[in-house]
Structure formats: structure tokens, C-alpha cells
Structure 1
Amino acid sequence: MRFVDHTFELPLDHDRPDGERITVYAREVTADPHLPWLLFLGGGPGFAAPRPIGDEGWLTRALKDYRVLLLDQRGTGRSTPVTRAVALSRGADYLTHFRADAIVRDAEEIRWTLVGDEPWTVLGQSFGGFCTVTYLSFAWQGLRAALVTGGLPGLHVDAVGAYRTLYPVVTAKNRAHYRTYPSDVEQARRVAAHLLSEDVRLPTGRRLTVEAFQAVGNMLGARNGSARLHYLLEDPFTGGSLSDAFLLSAQDALSWATAANPLYYLLHEATYAQGAGATGWAAQRVRGEFPAFDARAALSGDAPVYFTGEMIYPWMFDDDPLMAPLRPLADELADRPQWSDLYDVERLRSNQVPVVAAVYDTDMYVSRELSLQTAARIGDLRLWHTADHQHDGLRVSDGEVMSRLLAMLS
């Protein structure tokens, strides 16, 4: 692999090209510089592109056919960052410029700089797949083909509707976990009961509440997540207190949402927002419709404590001293009444750009139900609906998912 750094000075607001500018960084990874381009849009929002170290099976496979551009989406990595301090000083209006529509317009300016008017191929994983559907909606002329892994966004659904389809999947993941590891039922109940009676802090100073403990269930969406959760629960106590080993492992398990990526906290529900209507802390509101996730009610009887998934809740700001100052800003974004459109349904219906998409049957992060609905509405899309992989299939399948998608494309 050969690496080339690229930086681009782009408008913060593409509708005001003469206004404030930001830096967007991308890393070119090449085995043969004469191959066509593949733009990789990764998950998020708020996460930088992967940093290759040589054992990425999907990337190794992709480099046989493409020169790959790993984009640090605006606000992340080596692009002009959105830190906690930046978010606090710039406010909600500034953050609205860091969604999929702006990322796609960045990609188009980068394409013109690197390639000219020749279209390129895009590979979108998870949130990157959402960005890819935005690309197909508003800048399809720039695409030769599109590959999507980890699901497709709902075209007509808001954040509330998306979470209504996801909570049942998380419920099924919990049931499957407890069937595999029945001893974890009592262990999770012991930990939850302890947290209700004690003020427990993680090494970072973040309070480990019952709800925060439930949030370690986010790992259940990965290929080996159930085993990892079992090992976390295997021996959590030393005497009458939670052990240092458990607290360190729990802190690591909660690292999917940390102060290092404030955009993930602040814009997660906004990835579903279109047109009129506030997101209004949708995950928290919808949670009340699924009483199995009420840990206190579970402990009052003999029910298992259910873990939650990739949901952002308002208490995540309150319990984390690093994120607490951002709570008013998060509330303002949750109450924002109007968002730009992310998809053009009519354009997608008439799409002629070849698209291949992998939808994972038990995906805990992106709704299978909504993905299949969207797949049926995008023209020239070939679907791979599989139960053989989880949401992280592209990363952990040693190139199998990438090979399958490229075979479907050809």
C-alpha cells in the first residue's frame, strides 16, 4: 500500500462559496495508481476514516480494482475538527453544516479536484451508506457505481419511526444473548441493583448509572459482541464492590460514544431528520413504548435487565462531566424544527447508477425493515440480504463482504 495525503479548502456552507472555509482531509491508498477511484464513506456521524495498518481485508480486496480515497468527513480526524470547545463556541447553526448533504457536496468538490469530470465509485458503510443515498439523490452525475454495506436509510421515516423499528431488534438480541449465556441474567441483575444503591464512577469520572450500564449492550450488534458482553459480566465484583477490572472494561465498552466524538452525540438523531419536525430526543421517547428496557421494573420482579443499543439519550450528557456543558446545545438541536432534505425519492426511483447493497438480517444499528423498503425504491439496485454477517461485516469478514459486493457489481 502506498499512501498520499490530500487536503482541500472547502466552503463551510456550500450555498455560500465565498464565505467561511474549512479543511477536509483524505488519505489516498494505492497499490496501482492507474486504477479508477473508490471513495470510502465510513460510519458515524463524527468518526474519522479508518487508519490502515495492513490487515484490513476489505481494503486489500478493494485495492485490486481501485485506488481508494479514505475521507475524514468534515469535522473529524484531520479535517477541521468539531471538538467540544468548537461546538460550544460556534453553536447549533454551525453544526447543521456537518450532515450527509454537506459531506456529499464536499465529495463532489474533491472529485473535481482529483479526477475532473470523470465519475467515481463510492463505498458507504453504515452512516456512509446514508451519505451514499444522499449522493444518489443530489449528485448522481458524479457516480459510476455505488456500494452500500450495513443498511440503507428510511426515505420517509423520521427518528421516532426509525427507533420504533430498532428497539424490537435490540430486544431480540437480548433474548438471544440470555439464551446463550443464561447465567448472565443474574449477573446483570446484581450489577444493576448495585448501581441503584451506590454512586459508582468510571475511571474517567463518568457516573455509571443503571442506564449507562444498559448502554454497554451496544456491543451486541457486532459479530463477537455477545461473547464480549458475557466476559464483561463473568466476574464483576470484588467483595461487595464492582471491581476495577469490571469498571475499566465497562468504560471501554462505552467508548462508542465519548467526548472525543461530540458530533456523534450531537447529530446522531439528526441523521434521520428531514424537513419539518424536531427529533425531540426520539430514542428516549420511544424507549417508553418498550417496557422491557425499564431496568427498575425488571428488578422489582424477576425479569432480566435488557441492554440498549446505538441510541443517544439526554442523560448521556448529564452523567459525563466532559459532555455536561454540551447539554443545552444538544437540547437546542433536538428542538430544531426544520432540517434540510437528505433524499430525493423521485430521483432515486429513476436512478440509473448501478448500486449494490448488503442488508444484514439482524442488524442492530440500521433497520432491516427500512433498508428493504428503501432498496425496493431505488432504481438499478441489486440487493444482498444476508443473515451471515452483522453490522461490522465489511470490517471483520476478511474481504468476503467486499468480494461479494464487487462480484454483484460486475
Structure 2
Amino acid sequence: MTAQEASKGGYLRPGLIESFVANGLKTQDYYFDLPLYHTDDSKKETIVVFARRVVAADKQADADKLPWLIYFQGGPGFGSPAYTTGWVKNAAKKFNVLLLDQRGTGLSTAMTVQVLSQFKTPQEQAEYFMQFRADSIVRDSELIRETLLANSTEKKWSLLGQSYGGFCITTYLSLFPDSITAAYITGGIPPVVDSLETVYRKSYKSVMDHSEQYYKRFPMDIKRVKKIMKYLATNEVKMPSGGTLTPRKFQQLGQRFGLSGGMDAIHQLCLGAFITIQGKEVLSSGFLHDIDALQDLIPPIYAILHEAIYCDGPNVASNWTASQLLNGEFKSVFGYSVKEYEAHEDDSSKIVYFTGEHMYDWMLDDYAYLQPLKECADILAKYTNWPKLYHPEVLAKNTVPVAAAVYYDDMFVDRECSENTAKLIPGIKLWITNEYKHSGLRDDSGILTKLMKMVSNEVDIPTP
């Protein structure tokens, strides 16, 4: 498709569409000028959204005859994976795969502290953030579909969503079901039925289980982690990025437990935590740089909008729910004090629990790059006029073939909450498995193949 052909929809940026062939794949890079505000015609601001089309090089001559598959990344706030990712290479043999950099991510208009500094007030920053949830991402995708498939015989496309990408798919099924051929979800059926408190309560219990699994695998780390926590509690440790490494910030590394190889990575990190300088043990610069790499590159969208992705409609505020639960019913589990842990220094039954995928109000203090957004984040946490993301009455009439991989011990998206939502969607096929962690799609490209076979009835998976 030429730029002139695609731009008939009015959204594709004029000019050359960059393309290359490598690794057996043909790519085409598109930039779209899309409305920042989709539901307010009085506001004319636009943003750029980037998407990369990928097709097998030996299929490029017939690419315009192949169906389309758009991919929604997990997050929120992260760009699409590399075009050479395993599942992409496999899917590109059958589809025009479109890797979408959701608004604010990747090569789309950036959502960074630098960009947000152009706004005069925290309120203006917050209003900008409000335009970056799943409803806006889905409406972006619809305009892109209308543009790229304008000359295609088949105007529908299939959807693939990992984690938060599955949330986006469920919004797509609510808003534009007639645009979808089939939908594939991996570890990402959103909790439409369950409250944010329920979601995080389950999440805390899950990361407690994962913490215990970690120490069973690496029992010597019980003492190592206590030693690190004590050092952080009794010393001010500045990070290379400028923030402060506090005990509570170190505990957030538990998020890695829910991904393949995550426990091994944290164990290796703890092994090299200390070095001796002039007879005194201090945390090594390598240890601090490694933590920076794991934590301080978290996108602002992920940190600040994370709880808001669960706010489905008006009269609901996120209200720093993870912080409230941590300071309340889970304080005795995750709270840390030097005095308490010194008394149990050699007690292997007294462990330091890590936290998981939880965003806290104190992150706006401990993370240097987030500090300028503290007032903005508080405004968003109190906001109650969110638009609806899901429409159960539409989902109840669903006729789109949907297949979902649900990971039994998923630390990021609770299995029981996923099953509750699945009951709202007629015809959805669930593959519940304990073979994978949350990163299953990245780890095994065969997952997508199986989901496609479920939709085509080549494998027998019972419906809920």
C-alpha cells in the first residue's frame, strides 16, 4: 500500500513510508496524526501514533491479500516488541502483523516528564493523562484500521493482546465488535466484575506466595535480603538516576517474580549487593545500576495511570488503593522495621516479603524522575468522572470468536477475576494453564498458534 492510498483516510502522515527487509521479514513504518481528544470535537489537538507492519518476506508480493492482526502490548505505557520476536515471525507468515506503539509509547508522541513540563499546571497535566487509557487506544486503532484497510476486500482485522493489551481488546469488543474477525488474549482478561480493592487484595496474596517460593528456591537469600533492607533503612542510598533507594522501593523488585527467569535475576542481584571498601561493607555501584535498569525506566503512564486503568466509569476513584491496603490490612506482612527484623535476624521463618505490580503514592518521592508529577498523580487518584471502558450489555451479545490463555498462578492478572469476566462474554474459550508465567507469549510463540487453533476448533478447549 502506498502512502497516497493509505492517506485517503486522512490520518496517515504524508511522505515516505520507511521500509526494510531483514531477518526474513518485510516491514513498513507508519505514522498517523490522530485526535488527542476522541470524544470532544471542540478540541483539535493531535498526537502522532506509530505502527509497524510486518509480513514474511516471501509473502510480501501477496501481502495485500493477507488478513491483518493488530497487537496490543502490556503495560500501560510500553511500546511494542521488536519485529523479530518469535510470535511475530510466526504470525507474519499468515498475517499483516501491525505492531502498535500505543499513544504515549515507543515512537508515538512521547509521554515523558520532559513533554509534560510544557503544561502550566498539574491540572493540565492530569487532563492530558486522561486521554491515554484503553478507550482512546482503541479509538486510535479504529482510525488506523479504516485507513490501512480502506482498499482491502476484508475490512475487519484480528486482535492480539498481552496483559493490559487484553484489557484493550475487551474495550474493543465493547466499542467496535463489528470491526473484529477474532480476538486472542494472553494473560490479560480484565476484572470487569471485581473491584480494584479485590484485585489488589488478591495481588498482594499472590506476591506473598511468590516471595515464599523465591526463598524456598534460594534459602540463603533470606539473610541476604534482610541485610540489604537493614542497610537501606540505616543509610541514605542515592541511585545513579538521582532518586533514593529505600527499603520499600527495593521490595518492589518482587514484580519480577511473576516473569520467567525473574527469581533467578533477583537472586543474582542479591549475590552481588555488597562490596568492601576500606574494611566497610557498602552497596556496590553495579548493584545500584542494575536496580536503576529494572526500576527507574518505568514510564510515567505505567506509574501514574496504572490504577486508573481499573476505573470503569464515573463515580469511581483509584484513590491510591494499593497504598491504602499496604498501610492497612497488609501492613504487618510487608511493613519493615530494623528493630523487628534484628530480633529475628537468624530466624528463617521471618522473611522480608516483596511487593508486586502495585503503584504507590510514595513513588512520587522515591523515584527522582516522577517527582515533578506528584500533584498531577494526586489529582488523577481522586478523579471520579472516568468514561466507561467496558459495556457488559454489548459483551453479552458477543459473536466475535475469542480465545484466551489464562495463567493459573499469574501474579499480574488474577485467574479468578479473569474467569469472572469471561462469564460475561458468550463463546469465549479459555485455556487455563500452569505451564507459563505472565510472560508466556514472549517465552513461547506456540501460545498464539494454540489460541488460533482454539478459534478454528482444531483443538477442543471447553468454554466456561
TM score, norm. by length of structure 2 = 0.84
Query: Within 2, Cα distance between the matches of 1:343 and 1:244?
Result: 46
Query: Residue 184 of structure 2 contacts residue 403 of structure 2 at CA under 8 Å; is this kept in 1?
Result: yes
Query: Within 1, Cα distance between the matches of 2:75 and 2:403?
Result: 21
Q: Which residue of 1 aligns with 2:292?
A: 251
Q: Which residue of 2 aligns with 1:26?
A: 51
Q: Following superposition of structure 1 onto structure 2, how do residues 35-46 of structure 1 map, counting pairs within 5 Å?
A: 35-46=66-77
**Higher RCO, Cα 8 Å, sep 6+:** 1
Q: Identify which of 205, 213, 217 aligns with 2:242.
A: 205
2:39 aligned with 1:15, yes or no? yes
- 1:17 positional shift: 4.2
- 1:300 positional shift: 5.2
The aligned amino acid for 1:190 is K
> % of aligned pairs identical?
41
2:289 aligned with 1:289, yes or no? no
Q: Which residue of 1 aligns with 2:204?
A: 167
Tell me the number of residue pairs that the alignment of Structure 1 and Structure 2 aligns.
404
TM score, norm. by length of structure 1 = 0.95
Query: Residue 184 of structure 2 contacts residue 448 of structure 2 at CA under 8 Å; is this kept in 1?
Result: no
Q: Which residue of 1 aligns with 2:125?
A: 91
- 1:375 positional shift: 1.5
2:445 aligned with 1:402, yes or no? no
Q: Identify which of 224, 230, 235 aligns with 1:187.
A: 224
Q: Which residue of 2 aligns with 1:63?
A: 92
Q: Which residue of 2 aligns with 1:132?
A: 169
Query: Residue 295 of structure 1 contacts residue 306 of structure 1 at CA under 8 Å; is this kept in 2?
Result: no
Q: Which residue of 1 aligns with 2:19?
A: none
The aligned amino acid for 2:449 is S
Query: Within 1, Cα distance between the matches of 2:422 and 2:266?
Result: 32
Query: Residue 193 of structure 2 contacts residue 417 of structure 2 at CA under 8 Å; is this kept in 1?
Result: no
Query: Within 2, Cα distance between the matches of 1:350 and 1:301?
Result: 59
Query: Within 2, Cα distance between the matches of 1:242 and 1:80?
Result: 38
Query: Within 2, Cα distance between the matches of 1:120 and 1:405?
Result: 16
Q: Identify which of 425, 428, 440 aligns with 1:378.
A: 425
Query: Residue 26 of structure 1 contacts residue 69 of structure 1 at CA under 8 Å; is this kept in 2?
Result: yes
The aligned amino acid for 2:335 is D
Q: Which residue of 2 aligns with 1:151?
A: 188
Distance 1:301 1:145, change over 3 A: farther
Q: Higher Cα Rg: structure 1 or 2?
A: 2
Q: Which residue of 2 aligns with 1:241?
A: 282
Query: Within 2, Cα distance between the matches of 1:252 and 1:77?
Result: 17
Question: SS at the partner of 2:368?
Answer: coil
CA RMSD of superposed structures (Å):
1.5
Query: Within 1, Cα distance between the matches of 2:249 and 2:218?
Result: 21
Query: Residue 158 of structure 1 contacts residue 274 of structure 1 at CA under 8 Å; is this kept in 2?
Result: no
Query: Within 2, Cα distance between the matches of 1:7 and 1:250?
Result: 34
Distance 1:369 1:87, change over 3 A: farther
Q: Identify which of 298, 301, 322 aligns with 1:263.
A: 301
Q: List alignment gaps of at least 5 residues for structure 1.
A: none
- 1:293 positional shift: 1.0
Q: Identify which of 360, 372, 382 aligns with 1:335.
A: 382
Query: Within 2, Cα distance between the matches of 1:376 and 1:145?
Result: 18
Q: Which residue of 1 aligns with 2:394?
A: 347
Query: Within 2, Cα distance between the matches of 1:374 and 1:300?
Result: 45
* Cα deviation code 1:270-291 (max 9, x no counterpart): 1101221211111111123222
* Cα deviation code 1:135-164 (max 9, x no counterpart): 001110110100000131111333222111
Query: Within 2, Cα distance between the matches of 1:381 and 1:301?
Result: 52
Query: Within 1, Cα distance between the matches of 2:275 and 2:109?
Result: 44
- 1:301 positional shift: 4.3
Query: Residue 135 of structure 2 contacts residue 168 of structure 2 at CA under 8 Å; is this kept in 1?
Result: yes
Query: Residue 61 of structure 1 contacts residue 402 of structure 1 at CA under 8 Å; is this kept in 2?
Result: no
Q: Runs of 4+ in structure 1 displaced over 6 angstroms?
A: none
Query: Residue 6 of structure 1 contacts residue 25 of structure 1 at CA under 8 Å; is this kept in 2?
Result: yes
Question: SS at the partner of 1:96?
Answer: helix
Query: Within 1, Cα distance between the matches of 2:38 and 2:381?
Result: 24
* Cα deviation code 1:38-76 (max 9, x no counterpart): 000001111111132x3x211122112211001111111
Query: Within 2, Cα distance between the matches of 1:85 and 1:173?
Result: 36
- 1:86 positional shift: 2.8
The aligned amino acid for 2:341 is L
Query: Within 2, Cα distance between the matches of 1:144 and 1:150?
Result: 20
